[in-house]
């Protein structure tokens, strides 16, 4: 292997070369030939087991394309049409009125609320041993959608869950068995499986470790028994085989492959980035197909540029790097392109200051706490505080992560590798004439009881499973609360109660009791 190539890859993934740390697999092919293959770090820190080409990784949402392919195989078998109303197959799970098709679910334009925030509302935590019936019961409760089908684009894991249920009902097999027999075996993906239960032992599985940005790692387990949106476990050498099939279909019909790779179009005629378990966009003038995955601390990216016959697989058992950004850097390296610059212009930056900062609608809800100790500043994170490290341009790096904060007095920018979030200092006292009233509220689509109470000059909100947390106020006087990073929602008064808006579950009306 070219020594300069090896050095450049190691520079891109340098944190994975620093002693006893988690890491990942990298596989790059050009013109059907291996251009680069490498393994970094450890799959098990406790027992010092290095990652090898045979190590297995949970690939999270990259699994979705295999769910779509399973449905399309049943269409090839004549057992369904992807333009059928899902009530034809899972009518016992559906209470909302609008017709929704299988295609709308795998294009992420169905409007069906995402299962995760609904589960949290029900009092089910991410580390509980969640199973398929937990999600089925959550879906049965839903009477409304985020938006009318085909009128918006919003990622929904729930749709892929329902697709896997449909595969089981029509095939007579469990979903893990169907995918093994109809896809993995024919494609000789011999080290690949769908994990059907959190108790299932997977030989060679790399464990999941959270990087807190300080050089410390924490075990971040997956306890759920769910599939459809997730739970394919594989290695880079196996996963890249699906791109062979997209390039030269033999197992699937050309029409099936076209469906996976065709971007959806909304009712207003606008084309979105999501296809059928893959996404597409233009990068450096080149059409790219890719999908990422993130569950617990697992991160993964599958990237394909047909015009250049370039394929990149990046599988990781830690959160050190945003996989999509790292994969693009590897692609740029393989193509001899200048990598995307991490440098961004910073204007009118102020010194860091402690406080609570929140987003406002229509941005996704975020609550961020900055603390100060002995003149140093920290960002509160799930596993502990991460130091804010001053940079020459006036920004602050969050530990060793590729994330930065730029302070502007009462506002700040959270600069992530692919986007920037704007936050404003939260108002912690209830505004004069605050429209949010103390009282008990009931959300009948999640069987959730919430209580808003007066506490000093502010308000708090209580959940039976998550406890009590302050209710802060955004720039537009809406409320916002956070029971940890996964369960953050805006609170807006509405007729007869309050309405909650989360990341992928919106307009959740809670009736005042």
pLDDT digits (tens, 9 = 90+) for 374-400: 999 999 988 888 999 999 999 999 988
Angle at 271 between CA 315 and CA 62, to 5 degrees: 15
Please choose, from the candidates 232, 292, 273, 276, the residue with its C-alpha nearest in 3D space to the C-alpha of residue 72.
276
Alpha-carbon gap, residue 314 to 28, rounded angstroms: 9
423, containing H or E segment: strand 420-425
Q: What percent of the chain has pLDDT over 70?
A: 99
The distance between the two most distant Cα atoms of the chain, rounded to a whole number of Å, is 69
Alpha-carbon gap, residue 225 to 196, rounded angstroms: 6
Q: What share of the chain is helix, strand, coil (3-state, %, to 5)?
A: 25, 30, 45
In the prediction, which pLDDT does 344 show?
Answer: 67
Alpha-carbon gap, residue 283 to 307, rounded angstroms: 12
Q: Is the pLDDT of residue 12 over 60?
A: yes
Mean pLDDT of 67-81: 98
What are residue 291's DSSP bridge partners?
A: 302
Q: Would you kindly state where each structural domain of the chain is located, as residue ranges?
A: 58-111+146-334, 355-425, 439-512
Confidence tier at 432 by pLDDT (50, 70, 90): confident
SS3 119: helix
Q: Is the pLDDT of residue 311 over 70?
A: yes
Mean pLDDT of 341-366: 86
In the prediction, which pLDDT does 343 show?
Answer: 56
**Count of CA atoms in the C-beta half-sphere (13 A) of 454:** 7
Alpha-carbon gap, residue 240 to 303, rounded angstroms: 9
- Chain centroid, CA 56 distance in Å: 20
pLDDT digits 0-9 by tens, 463-492: 999 999 999 998 887 899 999 888 999 999
Residue with tokens 């002995």: 374
CATH class (in words) of the domain with range 58-111+146-334:
alpha beta
Q: Is the pLDDT of residue 500 over 80?
A: yes
Higher pLDDT, 158 or 402: 158
The alpha carbons of the chain give a radius of gyration, in whole angstroms, of 23
Please choose, from the candidates 455, 461, 457, 456, the residue with its C-alpha nearest in 3D space to the C-alpha of residue 439.
461
Residue 451 CB contacts under 8 Å (≥ 6 apart), including other chains: 439, 440, 441, 461, 462
Alpha-carbon gap, residue 60 to 135, rounded angstroms: 17
- The pTM assigned to this predicted structure is 0.95
Alpha-carbon gap, residue 411 to 358, rounded angstroms: 9
What are residue 352's DSSP bridge partners?
A: none
In the prediction, which pLDDT does 1 show?
Answer: 56
Other C-beta atoms closer than 10 Å to the C-beta of 9 total 21
Residue with tokens 């708090």: 460
In the prediction, which pLDDT does 402 show?
Answer: 86
Confidence tier at 345 by pLDDT (50, 70, 90): confident
SS3 368: strand
DSSP characters over 383-399: TEEEEEEE-TTS-EEET
Kindly give the interhelix angle for 64-76 and 157-171, rounded to the nearest 10 degrees. Answer: 40
- Measure CA of the first residue to CA of the last residue in the chain; give whole Å: 69
Confidence tier at 341 by pLDDT (50, 70, 90): low
- Chain centroid, CA 250 distance in Å: 31
Alpha-carbon gap, residue 447 to 213, rounded angstroms: 37
Alpha-carbon gap, residue 375 to 360, rounded angstroms: 29
Q: What is the mean pLDDT of the chain?
A: 94
CATH of 355-425, one of 3.40.1130, 3.30.70, 1.20.1410, 2.40.128: 2.40.128
Confidence tier at 123 by pLDDT (50, 70, 90): very high
Phi first, then psi, for residue 414 (nearest 5°) are -105, 105
In the prediction, which pLDDT does 236 show?
Answer: 98
How do 232-234 and 57-58 pair as beta strands?
antiparallel
pLDDT digits 0-9 by tens, 161-216: 999 999 999 999 999 999 999 999 999 999 999 999 999 999 999 999 999 888 88
In the prediction, which pLDDT does 379 show?
Answer: 93
Alpha-carbon gap, residue 41 to 258, rounded angstroms: 37
């Amino acid at each position: 292997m070219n020594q300069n190539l090896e050095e450049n890859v190691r520079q891109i993934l340098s944190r994975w070369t620093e002693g006893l740390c988690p890491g990942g697999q990298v596989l790059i092919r050009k013109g059907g030939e291996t251009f680069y293959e490498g393994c970094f770090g450890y799959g098990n820190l406790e027992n010092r087991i290095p990652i090898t080409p045979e190590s297995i990784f949970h690939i999270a949402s990259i699994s979705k394309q295999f769910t779509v392919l399973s449905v399309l195989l049943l269409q090839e078998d004549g057992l369904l049409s992807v333009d059928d109303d899902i009530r034809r197959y899972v009518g016992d799970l559906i209470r909302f009125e609008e017709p929704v098709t299988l295609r709308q679910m795998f294009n992420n334009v169905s409007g069906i609320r995402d299962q995760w925030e609904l589960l949290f509302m029900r009092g089910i935590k991410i580390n509980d041993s969640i199973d398929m019936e937990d999600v089925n019961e959550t879906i049965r409760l839903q009477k409304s959608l985020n938006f009318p089908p085909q009128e918006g684009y919003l990622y929904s894991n729930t749709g892929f869950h329902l697709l896997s249920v449909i595969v089981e009902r029509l095939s007579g097999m469990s979903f893990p068995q169907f995918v093994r027999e109809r896809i993995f075996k024919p494609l000789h993906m011999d080290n690949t499986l769908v994990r059907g239960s959190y108790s299932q032992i997977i030989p060679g599985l790399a464990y999941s470790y959270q990087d807190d940005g300080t050089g410390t790692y924490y075990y971040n387990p997956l306890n759920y028994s769910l599939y459809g949106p997730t739970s394919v476990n594989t290695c880079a050498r196996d996963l890249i085989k699906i791109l062979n099939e997209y390039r030269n279909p033999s197992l699937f019909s050309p029409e099936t492959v076209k469906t996976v790779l065709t971007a959806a179009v909304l009712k207003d005629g606008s084309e979105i980035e999501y296809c059928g378990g893959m996404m597409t966009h233009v990068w450096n003038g080149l059409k790219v197909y890719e999908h990422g995955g993130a569950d617990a601390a697992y991160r993964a990216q599958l990237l394909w540029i047909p015009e250049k016959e370039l394929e990149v697989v990046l599988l990781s058992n830690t959160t050190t790097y945003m996989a999509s950004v790292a994969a693009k850097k590897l692609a740029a390296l393989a193509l001899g392109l200048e990598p995307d610059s991490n440098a961004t212009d910073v204007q009118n930056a102020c010194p860091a200051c402690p406080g609570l900062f929140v987003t406002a609608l229509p941005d996704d809800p975020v609550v961020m706490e900055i603390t100060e100790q002995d003149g140093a500043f920290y960002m509160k994170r799930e596993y502990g505080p991460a130091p804010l490290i001053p940079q020459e341009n006036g920004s602050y790096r969050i530990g060793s992560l590729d994330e930065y904060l730029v302070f502007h007095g009462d506002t700040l920018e959270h600069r992530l590798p692919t986007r920037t979030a704007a936050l404003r200092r939260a108002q912690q006292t209830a505004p004069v004439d605050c429209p949010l009233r103390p009282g008990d509220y009931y959300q009948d689509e999640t069987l959730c009881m919430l209580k808003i109470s007066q506490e000093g000059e502010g308000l708090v909100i209580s959940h039976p499973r998550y406890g009590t947390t302050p209710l802060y106020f955004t720039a537009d006087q809406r409320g916002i609360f956070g029971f940890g990073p996964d369960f953050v929602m805006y609170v807006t008064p509405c007729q007869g109660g309050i309405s909650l808006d989360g990341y992928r579950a919106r307009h959740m009306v809670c009736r005042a009791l």
